[in-house]
């Protein structure tokens, strides 16, 4: 991989490589993707990214939102297949991990718990945005400084319970005017564009998946529809309870499903490919195979990738996948379910890192698979 040519030292050279992401057409960071990433939406509080998703879907699909907050975009079957009513669910969750305020003390400090899984070390020293009834409130994550830690404290890993949020309040009274118990926060960081079409940002998990569900539906609509109806959804509450995938799979009763999420790119230091398989940035989407996943759906995706010459790798899972597929495949009497993932580095951090052409390749793969579905296609095991 070639390094970007640095200009010879001089004024121009001081411009740092890597800059806030700016929207680009086609491949790369599209305006919709950047808006989805900018919108803040921890599990259970997804209204802002859902509004962006709905608006984009409304350009080519019939859109609705269910009681749990999951938006749905329906693409009708192609002409002549309307009566079939075979339905493919294409799902990528739209929620992200965050923090929730549990207590505001009399000094004005906020105490919190996690929404979804956090590595506490990553939180130390971060800037935050708290969404409140009065609008966004900024704050910082405070922790006792190293100089004041006793020897044994220095050896211990920081834990969430020992951290607090400082919003600069004078006292508890002022803090309680600004923030309420139950308000949620995310890390205050803009998406950052890096060389080689790469992007670092919070919430790639799984705004990327919700974007791919949207794009795949758009590509199928542009192709005039598939023989099956496509139900694209941006499920809520994946990071906590699978609440969105459980309820939308129950309501939509699909004949088959493709779930989209992120997985660990293995070309970062310290990752063992013997366990995870080889999934480098730029190697395309990752198609999963495993005990909870339907092999017929796997073969459909695999054949689509080969036929359309879309790069992909394969990942195996011997148990639950840790994604919405775990809820969808056991919905009602069971749903034949496949899983496709986008490889990212540094998952569950504010610097998750992706190569954007893997995202677009993932949308093309799922659209191609959907367009291969026939009237009589069956995934019975
Ligand atoms: Zn996820």
Q: Which tokens in the block code for residue 96?
A: 């992200």
- Token pair listed for 48: 């802002």
What pLDDT score was predicted for residue 17? 47
Helix (H) or strand (E) holding 172: helix 172-178
Average the pLDDT over each of 2-16, 55-69, 139-153 and give the range with the smallest value. 2-16
- Residue intervals of the chain classified under CATH 2.40.30.40 are 98-187
Contact 194, 200 (CB under 8 A): yes
74-100: pLDDT as tens digits: 999 998 888 878 999 999 999 999 999
**Residue 78 · residue 7 · CB < 8 Å:** no
Residue 169 Cα to ligand 1 midpoint, Å, equals 34
Q: What is the pLDDT of residue 2?
A: 53
> What's the confidence (pLDDT) of residue 80?
87
Instruction: Write the pLDDT tens digit of every residue in 281-318.
Output: 999 999 999 999 999 999 999 999 999 999 999 999 99
- Give residue 279's pLDDT band: very low, low, confident or very high (50, 70, 90): very high
pLDDT digits (tens, 9 = 90+) for 262-273: 999 999 999 999
Percent of the chain with pLDDT over 70: 93
Q: Catalytic amino acids?
A: 238
pLDDT of residue 261: 98
CATH 2.40.110.10 fits 98-187, yes or no: no
SS3 letters for the chain?
A: CCCCCCCCCCHHHHCCCCEECCCCCCCCCCHHHHHHHHCCCECCCCHHHHHHHHHHHCCCCEEEECCCCCEEEEECCCCCCCCCCCEEEEEECCCECEEEEEEECCCCEEEEEEECCCCHHHHCCCEEEEEECCEEEEEEEECCCHHHCCHHHHHCCCCHHHCEEECCCCCHHHHHHHCCCCCEEEECCCCEEECCCEEEECCHHHHHHHHHHHHHHHHHHHCCCCCCEEEEECCCCCCCCCHHHHHHHHHHCCCEEEEEEEEECCCCCCCCHHHHCCCCCCCCCEEEEECCCCHHHHHHHHHHHHHCCCCCEEEEECCCCCCCHHHHCCCCCCCCEEEEEEEEECCCCCCEEEEHHHHHHHHHHHHHHHHHCCCCCCCCC
Q: What pLDDT score does 12 carry?
A: 41
Q: Say how many Å lie between the CA of residue 208 and the centre of ligand 1.
A: 9
**Residue range 100-112: mean pLDDT, rounded:** 98
Q: Mean pLDDT, to the nearest integer, of 104-132?
A: 97
**Residues making up the chain, counted from first to last:** 381
The structure tokens 């929730």 sit at 100
Q: Where in the chain do CATH 3.40.630.10 domains reside? A: 31-96+202-372
Domain 31-96+202-372, what architecture? Answer: 3-Layer(aba) Sandwich (3.40)
| Cα 92 to ligand 1 centre (Å) | 8
Is the pLDDT assigned to residue 178 strictly greater than 60? yes
pLDDT at 315: 97
Q: How far is the CA of 162 from the centre of ligand 1 (A)?
A: 26
Confidence band of 4 (pLDDT split at 50, 70, 90): very low
Quick one: DSSP state of residue 247?
H
Q: What is the pLDDT of residues 6-51, one digit of tens each?
A: 444 444 444 444 555 544 445 688 999 999 999 999 999 999 999 9
Helix or strand run (H / E) with residue 340:
strand 337-344
How remote is the CA of residue 259 from the centroid of ligand 1, in Å? 11
Residue 346 alpha carbon to ligand 1 centre in Å: 13
Q: How far is the CA of 183 from the centre of ligand 1 (A)?
A: 22
């Amino acid at each position: 991989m070639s390094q970007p040519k640095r200009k010879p030292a001089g004024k121009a050279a001081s411009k740092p490589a890597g800059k806030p992401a700016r929207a680009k057409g086609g491949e790369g960071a599209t305006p919709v993707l950047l808006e989805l990433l900018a919108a803040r939406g921890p599990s259970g509080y997804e209204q802002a990214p859902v509004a962006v998703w709905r608006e984009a879907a409304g350009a080519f699909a019939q859109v609705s939102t269910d009681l749990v907050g999951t938006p749905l975009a329906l693409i009708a079957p192609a002409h002549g297949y309307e009566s079939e009513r075979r339905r493919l669910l294409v799902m990528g969750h739209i929620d992200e991990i965050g923090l929730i305020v549990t207590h505001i003390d009399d000094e004005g400090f906020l105490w919190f718990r996690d929404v979804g899984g956090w590595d506490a070390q990553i939180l130390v020293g971060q800037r935050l945005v708290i969404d409140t009834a009065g609008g966004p409130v900024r704050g910082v994550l405070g922790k006792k400084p190293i100089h004041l830690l006793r020897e044994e404290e220095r050896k211990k890993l920081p834990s969430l319970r020992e951290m607090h949020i400082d919003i600069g309040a004078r006292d508890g009274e002022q803090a309680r005017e600004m923030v309420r118990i139950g308000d949620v926060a995310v890390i205050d960081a803009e998406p950052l564009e890096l060389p080689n079409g790469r992007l670092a940002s919070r919430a790639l998990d799984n705004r990327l998946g919700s974007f791919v569900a949207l794009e795949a539906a758009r590509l199928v609509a542009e192709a005039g529809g598939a023989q099956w109806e496509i139900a694209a959804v941006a499920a809520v509450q994946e990071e906590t309870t699978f609440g969105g995938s459980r309820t939308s799979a129950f309501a939509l009763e699909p004949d088959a499903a493709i779930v989209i999420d992120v997985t660990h790119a293995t070309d970062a230091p310290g990752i063992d490919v013997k366990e995870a398989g080889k999934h480098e940035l730029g190697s395309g989407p990752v198609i999963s195979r495993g005990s909870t996943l339907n092999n017929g759906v796997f073969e459909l995706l695999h054949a689509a990738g080969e036929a359309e010459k879309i790069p992909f790798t394969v990942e195996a899972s011997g148990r639950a996948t840790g994604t919405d597929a775990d809820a969808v495949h056991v919905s009602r009497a069971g749903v034949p379910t496949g899983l496709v993932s986008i490889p990212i580095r540094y998952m569950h951090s504010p610097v998750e890192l992706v190569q954007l052409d893997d995202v677009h390749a993932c949308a093309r793969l799922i659209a191609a698979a959907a367009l291969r579905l026939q009237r009589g296609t069956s995934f019975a095991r």
